[in-house]
Amino acid sequence: MRILVTGAAGFIGAHLTARLLREGHMVTGVDAFTPYYDVRLKRDRWAALAGPAAGGAQARLITCDVCDGERLQGVFAAFRPECVVHLAAQPGMRASLSAPFVCQKNNVEGFLSLLECCRHATVTPRVVYASSSSVYGACTALPFVEEQPADRPVSLYAATKRANELMAHTYAQLYDIPCVGLRFFTAYGPWCRPDMALYLFADALSQGRPLQVFEGGDVRRDFTYIEDVAEGVVRCIGVPLQARSELFNVGSGRPVALLSVVHLLAERLGVTPRIETAPLPPGDIPATWASLARIQPRTGYQPATTLEEGVARFVEWFRAYAASGAGSGAVR
């Protein structure tokens, strides 16, 4: 299958591209290489997972901002994708509070640009796009199920992701574009972004800095290993749809307290953590937990990586990347 991946040099995008190549798909990736964090990490990630350093089949990577509709139309015309996996976005709940217009432009206008390309394509591709567990917002009923109302976001990032779901539904109805939205939970693993929890924790622990955890470390997250995330995406690329637009949770189904993750990381790094507690910041929520009751019977998705296994693999990568001198990619 010809598959176009946007945000291909990102954390999920590069791992997914590597998986698709192993399965024999033809993949073209686009990425704007925005400097939200050090672009060296993006380039190193792509090279290691889907580029020359990976060995075997390689994907073509095009530098392209999805907000540039004319350039993106050219990519569509040249590659003629049968499926588009849209992962390009401005990530981060806190970043959406400090740079709201950047978040809106990349997440809403960028997705609209992509949907318009799909609308005018010679052959209409399936669209599999990244949503987020953050759309559940102020919901307190756990685990989160797709049928729950998602009308109380607590951050602009969450609002843009919910907007994407509504936009996809609209284009699916108006233009018969099959759309699959994936509500990702807390992805982690090798090559993650430096603003993600495990990277922040590991960086502080390895340098002996105090580590700040919210609500005494009792905040719980549904940590999902990156290969399991990629597995969920691959299964939803081919899932028979029961409607033109559908939504699926992609998580582990196993919420874990942040303090437990900190101690697991500290043990793997061979250090004693110095922990400071802080209140939950605005826009954050106390717990996430994915119900897999929809995705499992429909696709056979089954997350296979335990937290202990995933953290061990992450620490192995983190140590090697930090030792290379390239692991200082601070978020800007």
Catalytic residues: 157
Distance CA 205, CA 213 (A): 12
Distance CA 257, CA 223 (A): 10
- The phi, psi pair for 172, rounded to 5°, reads -65, -40
Distance CA 295, CA 283 (A): 27
Cβ–Cβ under 8 Å, residues 178 and 121: no
Distance CA 110, CA 105 (A): 6
* Chain mean position to CA 92: 10
Pairing of strands 60-63, 26-31: parallel
Sequence-ordered list of residues with C-beta below 8 angstroms from that of 247, at least 6 positions apart, any chain: 131, 146, 165, 180, 181, 182, 183
Structural tokens at position 173: 């109805």
The torsion region of residue 305 among left (phi > 0), alpha (psi -120 to 50) and beta comes to beta
DSSP class of residue 224 equals E
Classify the C-alpha dihedral 217-160-92-180 as positive or negative.
Answer: positive
